[in-house]
Amino acid sequence: MLKKDLILKNPLRHLEYETEDILPEGGFGAILSRAGVGKTALLVQLALNNMLRNKNILHISLNEPVKKIGLWYESALRNIAAQHHIQEIHKLWEAILPHRFIMSFRVEGFSVPRLEERLTDLSEQGIFFPQMVLIDGLPFDENTDGCLKELKEFARAHALHVWFAVRTHRDDETGENGIPQQFSSVSDLFEVVVQLQPEGKQIHVKLLKGRVGVSDYRPLFLDPSTMLIKEAS
């Protein structure tokens, strides 16, 4: 009951489609923002929401060690527990932790064949079978196009939902749809694009591609004090 209550209270549900998943199988989602705004925090909340639904999450970090990513999860869950006055946080954590696996790669050492090799090792040993993959730290530059197309084929072949944290820059030009030029060349590969936009003391969660214009959509924000997503008051 506790997990069900948290899923129902999670404001990320306002980004979702008719099904429980924001992305279709084989789909790509991107979280865009400048450095330090909250990309990893939002990725972790996406992961926790799915772990509460007993979905297996593979978190791939290309710029942080496994231990540091693990601390992001613990911090986010503590803040969620405090927000909803949950006392038995350790029991909840123990229940959902088996649904998460963290991998780290060096940026220059990351490739789809290497990822597939490591996942094959995990699955053949019965250790872990991911349903969602989070990739944090992949540089989006002129060399990214080929890697993303390989990842798209890999995601479709394995029915994965894949989210990326994409670092943008303050002086990036944007197109008519608000998508930065840096990202626009690969945006066709993505079903959902979310931008974290600081405005004053608030961090807006803006949908640039996906369910934009849906009548029941409510504005969302990241709380700067907890980095948890919240609805507009």
Block means of pLDDT (10 residues each) for the chain, length 233 residues?
72 63 91 93 94 95 93 93 85 93 90 93 93 94 88 96 92 79 90 91 89 62 90 74
| 218 CB-contact burial (10 Å; exposed 0-12 / middle 13-18 / buried 19+) | exposed
- H runs (alpha helix) in the chain: 2-9, 39-51, 66-83, 89-96, 112-124, 144-157, 181-184
Helix (H, G, I), strand (E, B) or coil at 204: strand
Write out the two tokens for 16. 């979702």
Residue 179: closest CA among 193, 196, 163, 166:
193
Helix (H, G, I), strand (E, B) or coil at 196: strand
What pLDDT, on a 0 to 100 scale, did the predictor assign at position 63? Answer: 86
Residue 208: closest CA among 175, 162, 163:
175
Q: Which helix (H) or strand (E) holds 166?
A: strand 161-167
Between the alpha carbon of residue 15 and those of residues 63, 96, 172, the distances in Å are: 28, 22, 25
Write out the two tokens for 115. 């990822």
What pLDDT, on a 0 to 100 scale, did the predictor assign at position 233? Answer: 65
What pLDDT, on a 0 to 100 scale, did the predictor assign at position 20? Answer: 64
What pLDDT, on a 0 to 100 scale, did the predictor assign at position 204? Answer: 92
d(CA 209, CA 29): 9
Tally of CB atoms within 10 A around 55: 18
Can you list the domains of the chain with their CATH numbers? 2-231 (3.40.50.300)
What pLDDT, on a 0 to 100 scale, did the predictor assign at position 154? Answer: 96
Do 163 and 31 meet the contact criterion of CB atoms below 8 Å apart?
yes
What pLDDT, on a 0 to 100 scale, did the predictor assign at position 8? Answer: 67
Between the alpha carbon of residue 35 and those of residues 31, 117, 119, 170, the distances in Å are: 12, 31, 29, 10
d(CA 26, CA 23): 8
